[in-house]
């Protein structure tokens, strides 16, 4: 008789357990991944995904990482920093690798002269005037009484009045 009662009790427990409401998964309730290089994982049994590991800064990027707040030499996944005078953006990928992409536009192969006439430091097609100042390609500027144009491919500054100035 005791065995039959124990079986009934076990069966009742299984049925109640199966009928109990299952906890719902709300990914919005997951804690954000830590900003530091502390590797925290989510509690077992929750629906929150584990935090990806931070990326280690390679030795050639160590000073750039440190200057931009990653003094530990670790960059959290998804975070970015600039290198090459802010002409490249480097991002820590979820797989643990750092990838860098140029932010400057590519120069056309027809570019005849290259300079950095804009504060962003990106190289562009230019013309140089007599004072060796870079004039952006495709612009018109006054030089004294003359109007000068820098062609789209850069190179030689072309001025009105039959005289051209380099």
User: Which residues, in sequence order, are CB contacts of 158 under 8 Å at separation 6+?
Assistant: 148, 149, 150, 151, 164
- In this structure, what are the phi and psi dihedrals at residue 74, rounded to the nearest 5 degrees? -120, 135
Sign for the pseudo-dihedral over CA of 70, 75, 76, 82: positive
- Would you say residue 161 has pLDDT above 90? no
Q: Mind listing the pLDDT tens digit for each residue in 62-96? A: 999 999 999 888 999 999 999 988 889 999 998 88
Q: Choose the weakest-confidence range: 31-35, 90-94, 120-124.
A: 31-35
Q: Mind listing the pLDDT tens digit for each residue in 150-160? A: 999 999 899 88
Give buried/exposed letters for 70-100 (b at 16+ CB in 10 A, else e).
Answer: beebbbbbebebebeeeeeebbbeeeeebeb
Rounded to whole angstroms, how far apart are CA atoms 140 and 8? Answer: 94
Residue 108: closest CA among 140, 151, 156, 141: 151
Q: How many CB atoms lie within 10 A of CB 117?
A: 18
Report the percentage of the chain scoring pLDDT > 70. 74
């Amino acid at each position: 008789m005791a065995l039959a009662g124990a079986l009934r009790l076990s069966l009742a427990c299984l049925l109640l357990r199966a009928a109990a409401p299952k906890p719902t998964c709300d990914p919005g309730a997951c804690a954000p991944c830590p900003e530091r290089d502390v590797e925290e994982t989510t509690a077992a049994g929750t629906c929150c995904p584990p935090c990806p590991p931070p990326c280690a800064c390679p030795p050639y990027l160590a000073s750039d990482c440190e200057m931009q707040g990653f003094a530990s030499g670790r960059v959290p996944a998804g975070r970015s920093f600039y290198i090459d005078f802010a002409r490249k953006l480097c991002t820590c990928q979820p797989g643990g690798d750092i990838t860098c992409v140029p932010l400057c536009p590519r120069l056309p192969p027809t570019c005849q002269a290259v300079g950095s006439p804009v504060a962003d430091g990106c190289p562009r097609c230019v013309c140089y005037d007599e004072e060796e100042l870079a004039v952006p390609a495709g612009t018109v500027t006054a030089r004294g009484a003359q109007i000068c144009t820098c062609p789209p491919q850069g190179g030689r500054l072309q001025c009105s009045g039959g005289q051209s100035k380099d």
